[in-house]
Each structure stands twice: as structure tokens, then as C-alpha cells.
């Protein structure tokens, strides 16, 4: 009965584990998007623009945009205005105010405040960006977006690029959108570093740009990554890949690449408002800088990543120990990976240098890994050096080359000279002085030879 109960429990947990394994991952909760409209209310917005005034056009189109977004799900809006509270002659560089805070259903309030704005003073863009950090509620699972609408450069000696970058690194908001009204080339140079810049040279362009920016901020974007072989076929897979935020340096998405039964890679959702570097975590890594992602589209990125294998075949019996192999790119001192004998290592196709941590070290240079093939990496079968003495003392082992030169490879343990040491085949020399010997002249040497698969026994001096 007891055995039956144990079998029942085992089968129950086995069934539970299988169900858990096959259960699809829960669908993530949609992120809330918060859009802060940062509107220029400085005196220059009173300038004529075609048959109207810059501020009049901005008010009309922004009001229209806010009205169209009021029923959008998972969206909140807010309005901050700068340069509208004090006249230009006062040179007020803190003239920035959150006119309408983030809240559901506040579109009418935003439209009302837009209507009441009167352009007056300076252009404290840097200060406004810094203040905007306080406008976004501290809440997880949100996308914080700033849309800057301005016709002038920073007028308060601030650095809007530095401020924007710092706040992006703190993840206060995503890369801002900057819409320049009637902008010059100088204007564009200053604001390209603040965020994604759009030049609204005329009223029609301004309207189109505003629509495009909001669509970009709210649209769904997907990517696929094709890992191609040397023939350009997307057949490589099962590789870790990381989308790195190249502003913060942090990983935004980690995936293990997948191909279905038809050889098609899967489609991944991605936030198009971030700038990414794509890292394919092969050995060595492949890095694609500054991915050009089109918002609201499906983007396909192709990376050439042909791979092959190194098979580190363990030929020596267990008594000889396990050997570690260090893998480096051909001609480079940098370690790419390490592994132990008896394993297989996947690598990009190419040339590699391998260092085996044997005694002495064994080097294999210019090892070629070919696409889809397995290269066997072997080394000479070692032998064993057996030192039977239990004496305490000081000693070292050296290799002896064909010309009689010696090279140090190992120090004997001082507390007990008895060892059983795997060594590669070759000629060696042992140099030793017992701790009880009171002068260097009592140092003695002994030459010996190691043969593959055999044990060489030495007795230390004085035995």
C-alpha cells in the first residue's frame, strides 16, 4: 500500500510538471503610455507663419490631436508649457509650468489650457526637460513619452542634449520627439541630439509630422532576426540574442533564437521608441549597432552567423585528470571561452587558437572551424610521474628541449613531495633540495622521461 501511494504521488507530480511545461506563458499586461506635450510658449511663437501665427497653428493642431486621442486605450496625456508666464525682458529661466497633470479623461482640460496660452518670454528648454522628470508618475509598466513643439533654441545657457540623455539613462522617459517649427539648419543640429527630430518647415508638414509622431508613439512594432549561414540561408538558430538599449547600455530584451518546423523565425514585439544595438551571443559575439527600426512596421534584420563545432575528445583515462581548454580568436590574446575535455563547443566559423592547461601547456594554433562541421581537437596521451617520497623540501620540474634547454613548469608541494602528476610525453628534469639540507650545494637534479600511458616512478634524493 505504501509503495502504491509513493507511485501515485510520483505520477501526480510528473503529470503536473508536464502540464506546467506545456502551459503557454501568460500574456503580459499592456503597458500604459503617457504622452507629455511640451509646448513652446515663448515670444517667438507670435511670429507670422504663412497666413497665420505659429502659436495659432500649434494650438489648432495640438487641440485636434488631443481630441483624437481621448478615447485611446491605455493612454494618458499631460501638458507642460514654457516661456508663457513672464515677459521676455525679465529673462526668466524658470518659466515652465505643468499646466495639466497626467490623469484619465483630461483631454478637455488640456484643450482649455492650450486655448488660454499667450506667448511671452524665454525658451528654457533644458529647465523644462529637467522639471518634466517630476511630471511622470512613478509607476511600473509604463512608457513615458515627451513631444516637444518649439520654434526656438535654448535661451538660458542650458544644455538640452545633456539633460535629455541623463533623463533617458535614468529611464524617466523614452527618447523624446522634437518638432521644430520653421526651423533653420542650426536649429536641427542642436535638437538632433535631444531626441528624434522632425523639421516642420511649413504648416502642412507640421500637421503631418504631428500625426506621424503620435502614430509612432502608439503603434505596434515587430522584428524578426534571421541568422544566415555562409550561403545566405537563414538556417542558424538556438542562439541567445540581446537587444541592448544603446542609451542606457542595459538589455531590454533577451531571447533564445527559434526556427519553426518550416524554417521560419518567430515575430517579436519591440518598443520602437528606443535605440538598440543587437548582440548575437555566439562565440565570439556579433554586434549590430544602431538598428534602424521602422515604427508600426515589421522589421527583419539579417545577420551572417555561420557556426561549427570543436569536439574536445577525451582520450586519457580518468586517472590522468580532466584537461581545460582555453579558446581564443586566432592571433588575439583575449579569451573567448573555456571548456573541459569530453565536451563540444559551438563557435562561429573561423580560425582559433587553443591553449590546453596540461603540464606543460599544449598549444594548437590556426584551428579552423567550418560551417556545419565538427573539428576534433586532440592532444598527446599523457603519462604519469609518480614521486614516492614523503619528504618535505623544495623542488621544481622543468621540460628539457631538443637542444638541452630547460623551462620551468611546476613546483613540488613543500609540505609533502609525494605526487602523482600527469605530464605530456617528453624529457624532464627534477631539481630538489630537502628542507633538512642546510646549504644550496645539497641541491640535486634528476632527469627522466615521460611516455604516453605509462607511469614513471622517481625516488627523491636521500632515499
Over residues 329-356, mean pLDDT:
95
32-218 and 308-377, same CATH topology:
no
Taking only the tens place, the pLDDT of each residue in 248-302 is 999 999 999 999 999 999 999 999 999 999 999 999 999 999 999 999 999 999 9
- Tracing cell 502540464 back to the chain, one arrives at 19
Residues 6+ apart with CB under 8 A from 414: 392, 393, 394, 435
Taking only the tens place, the pLDDT of each residue in 68-98 is 998 888 999 999 999 999 998 999 999 999 9
Residues 6+ apart with CB under 8 A from 325: 312, 338, 339, 340, 341, 354, 355, 356, 357, 377
Taking only the tens place, the pLDDT of each residue in 4-26 is 445 444 445 555 444 545 555 55
Residue 386 burial (CB count, 10 A): 14
Grid cell locating 168: 533617458
pLDDT at 23: 54
Residue 141 has pLDDT above 90, yes or no: no
Class of domain 308-377: mainly beta
As its CATH architecture, domain 32-218 has 3-Layer(aba) Sandwich (3.40)
Nearest to 210 by CA among 261, 265, 150: 150
CA–CA gap between residue 406 and residue 400 (Å, rounded)? 5
CA–CA gap between residue 349 and residue 329 (Å, rounded)? 11
Residues 6+ apart with CB under 8 A from 211: 65
Domain locations in the chain?
A: 32-218, 220-304, 308-377, 383-458
Nearest-10 Cα torsion for 169, 174, 177, 178: -30
Nearest to 58 by CA among 126, 14, 115, 109: 115
- Structural contact between residues 383 and 423, judged by C-beta atoms closer than 8 angstroms: yes
**CATH match of 220-304 with 1.10.3720.10:** no
Residue 112 has pLDDT above 90, yes or no: yes
CATH number of 383-458: 2.60.40.180
Amino acid at each position: 500500500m505504501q509503495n502504491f501511494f509513493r507511485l501515485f504521488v510520483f505520477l501526480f507530480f510528473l503529470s503536473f510538471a508536464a502540464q506546467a511545461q506545456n502551459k503557454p506563458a501568460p500574456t503580459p499586461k499592456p503597458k500604459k503610455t503617457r504622452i507629455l506635450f511640451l509646448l513652446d510658449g515663448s515670444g517667438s511663437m507670435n511670429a507670422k507663419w504663412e497666413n497665420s501665427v505659429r502659436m495659432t497653428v500649434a494650438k489648432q493642431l495640438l487641440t485636434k490631436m488631443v481630441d483624437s486621442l481621448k478615447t485611446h486605450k491605455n493612454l494618458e496625456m499631460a501638458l507642460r508649457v514654457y516661456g508663457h508666464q513672464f515677459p521676455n525682458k525679465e529673462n526668466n529661466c524658470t518659466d515652465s509650468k505643468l499646466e495639466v497633470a497626467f490623469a484619465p479623461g483630461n483631454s478637455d482640460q488640456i484643450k482649455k489650457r492650450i486655448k488660454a496660452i499667450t506667448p511671452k518670454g524665454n525658451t528654457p528648454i533644458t529647465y523644462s526637460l529637467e522639471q518634466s522628470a517630476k511630471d511622470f508618475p512613478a509607476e511600473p509598466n509604463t512608457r513615458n513619452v515627451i513631444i516637444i513643439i518649439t520654434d526656438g533654441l535654448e535661451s538660458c545657457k542650458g544644455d538640452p542634449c545633456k539633460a535629455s540623455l541623463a533623463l533617458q539613462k535614468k529611464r524617466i522617459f523614452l527618447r523624446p520627439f522634437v518638432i521644430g517649427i520653421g526651423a533653420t539648419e542650426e536649429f536641427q543640429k542642436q535638437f538632433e541630439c535631444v531626441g528624434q527630430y522632425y523639421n516642420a518647415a511649413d504648416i502642412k508638414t507640421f500637421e503631418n509630422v504631428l500625426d506621424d509622431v503620435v502614430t509612432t508613439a502608439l503603434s505596434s512594432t515587430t522584428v524578426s532576426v534571421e541568422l544566415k549561414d555562409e550561403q545566405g540561408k537563414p538556417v542558424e538558430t538556438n542562439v541567445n540574442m540581446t537587444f541592448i538599449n544603446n542609451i542606457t547600455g542595459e538589455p531590454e530584451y533577451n531571447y533564445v533564437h527559434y526556427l519553426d518546423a518550416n524554417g521560419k523565425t518567430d515575430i517579436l514585439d519591440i518598443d520602437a521608441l528606443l535605440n538598440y544595438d543587437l548582440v548575437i551571443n555566439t562565440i565570439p559575439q556579433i554586434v549590430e549597432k544602431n538598428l534602424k527600426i521602422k515604427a508600426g512596421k515589421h522589421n527583419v534584420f539579417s545577420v551572417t552567423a555561420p557556426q561549427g563545432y570543436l569536439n574536445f575528445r577525451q582520450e586519457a583515462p580518468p586517472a590522468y585528470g580532466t584537461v581545460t581548454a582555453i579558446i581564443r580568436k586566432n592571433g588575439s590574446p583575449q579569451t573567448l571561452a573555456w571548456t573541459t575535455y569530453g565536451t563540444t563547443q559551438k563557435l562561429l566559423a573561423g580560425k582559433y587558437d587553443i591553449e590546453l592547461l596540461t603540464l606543460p601547456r599544449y598549444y594548437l594554433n590556426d584551428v579552423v572551424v567550418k560551417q556545419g562541421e565538427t573539428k576534433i581537437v586532440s592532444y598527446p596521451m599523457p603519462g604519469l610521474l609518480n614521486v614516492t617520497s614523503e619528504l618535505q623540501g623544495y623542488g621544481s620540474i622543468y621540460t628539457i628541449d631538443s637542444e638541452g634547454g630547460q623551462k620551468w613548469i611546476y613546483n613540488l608541494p613543500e609540505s609533502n613531495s609525494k605526487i602523482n602528476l600527469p605530464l605530456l610525453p617528453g624529457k624532464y628534469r627534477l631539481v630538489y633540495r630537502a628542507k633538512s639540507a642546510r646549504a644550496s650545494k645539497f641541491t640535486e637534479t634528476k632527469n627522466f622521461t615521460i611516455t604516453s600511458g605509462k607511469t614513471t616512478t622517481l625516488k627523491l634524493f636521500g632515499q
